[in-house]
A and B are shown apart, each in its own frame.
Chain A
Amino acid sequence: MADYYETKDLADFSNIGEYSPKLGEKYFDYYGEAMKAGALSAREKALIALAVATTQKCPYCIDAYTNSCLSLGVSAEEMMEAVHVGSAMAAGMVLAHSTQMRKIIKKKEM
């Protein structure tokens, strides 16, 4: 377990095509296209990626996109706002599932 989530493993990300180079190449092509500036700026995409990274609790992605945001001149306050968007979405998803609970309560209670 001690070897899980080591900081230096982020640098190994470029090798994820190992054992399956064709699929790896397709993934990186897709990733590159999706992440480059288009209708949304590189800055906006980095903030979306940071919010996703935190909600999905991926330490590599949090490392990568905190650094990307810093490099793109995003302030700490802007990054925290993006994290709160992710957090609010996650909270909403939990609360939305209380619908099921509330329906059951209403059905079961006299």
Chain B
Amino acid sequence: MPATIDLEDLGLDRGGHLLVERALRELPVGDELAVRGRDPALNVHLRAWARDQGHAFRDGSVVVRGSAPALRWAGAERAGGASPGEIVDHPGATWGVAARGALIETGGPSVHFDYQDRDLVWADLAPRLYAQAAANQWDPASAVDWDAEFTLPADVEAAVVQVMTYLVENEQVALIVPARFLGRIHPHFREVLQVLAVQAADEARHIEVFSKRAVLRGLPPGVSGAGGRASLSTLLEEPDFALASFLLSVLGEGTFLNLLAFLEVHAPDPISRRVTQLARQDESRHVAFGMAHLEHQGSLDPGLQARLRGAVERRHDVLMDTAGLNQGVFDALVLLAAGSWRPADIARGYHAVEELQQAMDEGRQRRLVRLGFPHDEAAALSALHTRNFM
């Protein structure tokens, strides 16, 4: 007596095959399933469906389970496990974009990703940083009171515009660099991709708010110096993930944390203070990921430090003959800290910018020491960092 299933009025053209498949899964290969139902086309469709699926068909309504469905999954393997603790060191080339932990049917195309080794991209902190980032996304339209009232002297407004213009060009690079690596990393390391994706989205918002503040009072954007762009272009050209993370996130964005903190204090209007505050919160996450990844990789690769050192030195050599920070940006920072053109105020502003640069240097040295550099070498490398800050 074969197993029996009754589809009632349900036809195979409306999902009846799901019930037949479910019933067949319970049977060993070669066993019979009698299919009953009231759909007038049931037997016509059942014959065609069974044939197509590799099952035998007899007596007008009996399906004999074939081996094809089981053969399809012969040799299938799990793509690691779902949780971050179950990622594998070297994901399979044919896993492609499959969900981590999914059962992978053998075959399919090999998809090449430049970064397929766990230790070249991973940081244990990545899942937590992504969760924080996802929870702390802010809406540029509502997070900033764009209608806040303030009045600035024309020179001070122009200084704000210049600083914002400078911030935008730096953030463009900070968007492009992680976005470029995003497509080169194996999706098995999902949380790393998520961190980079949010990082790019963060920068997109920063670009929006800095751009909006720049032109808020009707002035056109400020100037863009050749030296600054030369400095930023070296970041775009770095093809190695570890070195790019180091130059951009650890040294560049790390330095920017000080700059944004400076502007939170010295910016002359509430909107500028607010947008730099929002950006700084995001940037600190970017620095944290870069640090965590490099600490992870450094613990496994004794040669990493030498490569990091080489990257700083190479970049310094390339930029040696460029102007670095646009003079207009430097002057604008002094004026913002001074608040007026009175000599005493300018002196105070100049001193504040000097203190800013010293704080930037100290921050870089601290991070370099955390990455294992001796103090004297950290000081030397920090001094070679681009004068453009980023």
Q: Do A and B bind each other?
A: no
